[in-house]
Amino acid sequence: MTDLLSRLKQALGPKGVLTDASDMEAYAIDWRKLFPGKPLAVVRPANTQEVAAVVSLCKHYGTALVPQGGNTGLAGGAVPDGSGREIVLSLSRMNALRSVDPIGMTLEAEAGLVLKAAQDAAEAVGRLLPISLAAEGSATIGGVIATNAGGVNVLRYGMTRALVLGLEVVLPDGSIVNGLRHLRKDNAGYDWKQVFIGTEGTLGIVTAAVLRLLPRPTQTVTVLVSVADPQKALDFLVCAQNELGDSISAFELISGYSIKLVEQHFGIKCPIEASAWYVLIEAGATLSGLREAVEKALEQALESGLAHDGVIAESGKQAADLWLLRERITESEAKQSKSVKHDVSVPIPTIPDFLQAAEEALAKAAPGTIINCFGHLGDGNLHYNVLIKDHDPVLINHMVHDVVMAMGGSISAEHGIGQYRVAELESRRSEPELHLSRQIKTALDPLNIMNPGKVLSRQGSPS
Q: Which residues bind ligand FAD (CB under 6 A)?
A: 31, 66-74, 77-78, 91, 111, 133-135, 139-140, 142-144, 146-147, 149-151, 200-201, 205-206, 330, 414-415, 418, 451, 454
Contacts 24+ apart (CB under 8 A), 300-306: 300/239, 300/243, 301/225, 301/236, 301/239, 301/240, 304/239, 306/227, 306/232, 306/235, 306/236, 306/239
Number of residues that bind ligand 2HG (CB under 6 A): 6
Kind of pairing between the strands at 39-43 and 65-68: unpaired
Q: At what angle do helices 393-406 and 351-365 cross, to 10 degrees?
A: 150
As measured in angstroms, the least distance from the Cβ of 136 to ligand FAD is: 8
- CB nearer to ligand FAD: pick between 91 and 129: 91
Among 59, 383, 391, 428, binds ligand 2HG (CB under 6 A): 383
The 8 Å CB, 24+ separation contacts for 391-394 are 391/366, 392/366, 393/338, 393/340
Q: How far apart are CA 96 and CA 99, in angstroms?
A: 9
- Binding residue (CB under 6 A) for ligand 2HG from 90, 148, 207, 330: 330
**What's the closest the beta carbon of residue 45 comes to ligand FAD, in angstroms?**
11
Phi/psi of residue 307, each to 5°? Answer: -125, 150
**What is 337-372 written as a DSSP string?**
-EEE--EEE--GGGHHHHHHHHHHHHHHHSTT-EEE
> Minimum Å distance from CB 427 to ligand 2HG?
21
| The dihedral sign for the CA sequence 345, 346, 351, 355 | negative
Q: How many of the other CB atoms lie within 10 Å of CB of 213?
A: 24
Question: Judged by CB, which is closer to ligand FAD: 88, or 294?
Answer: 88
Residue 51 site contact among ligand 2HG, ligand FAD, none (CB < 5 to 8 Å, cut-off depends on kind): none
451 binds, among ligand FAD, ligand 2HG, none (CB under 5 to 8 A by kind): ligand FAD
Orientation of helix 230-244 relative to helix 290-303, angle to 10°: 140
Q: Which residue is nearest to ligand 2HG (CB)?
A: 330
Question: Of these partners, ligand FAD, ligand 2HG, none, which one is at the site of residue 68 (CB under 5 to 8 Å by kind)?
Answer: ligand FAD
358 interacts with, out of ligand 2HG, ligand FAD, none, CB within 5 to 8 A per kind: none
Nearer Cβ to ligand FAD (87/221): 87
Is the CB of residue 385 less than 8 Å from the CB of residue 333?
yes
Cα separation of 158 and 306, whole Å?
27
- Among 328, 341, 391, 454, indicate the residue that binds ligand 2HG (CB under 6 A): 341
Show the binding pattern over residues 126-165: x = contacts ligand 2HG (CB under 6 A), - = does not: --------x-------------------------------
In the complex with ligand 2HG, the residue whose CB is nearer, 197 or 444, is: 197
CA-CA distance, 225 to 442, in Å (whole number)? 49
DSSP 66-124: EEESSS--SSS-SS--TTS-EEEEE-TT---EEEEETTTTEEEEETTSBHHHHHHHHHH
CB of 167 to ligand 2HG, least distance (A): 23
Least distance in angstroms from the C-beta of 411 to ligand FAD: 14
At 385 the three-state DSSP class reads strand
Judged by CB under 6 A, the chain residues 302 through 321 that form the site for ligand 2HG are: none
- Verify binding: residue 71, ligand 2HG, rule CB under 6 A: no
How many Å is the Cα radius of gyration of the chain?
23
Residue closer to ligand 2HG by CB (options 40, 134) is: 134
Residue 253 binds which entry of ligand 2HG, ligand FAD, none, CB below 5-8 Å type-dependent: none
Asked if 183 contacts 455 with a C-beta cutoff of 8 angstroms, the reply is: no
Shortest spacing between CB 293 and ligand FAD, in angstroms: 27
The nearer residue to ligand FAD, 138 or 356, going by C-beta atoms, is 138
Binding site for ligand 2HG (CB under 6 A): 134, 330, 341, 375, 383, 385
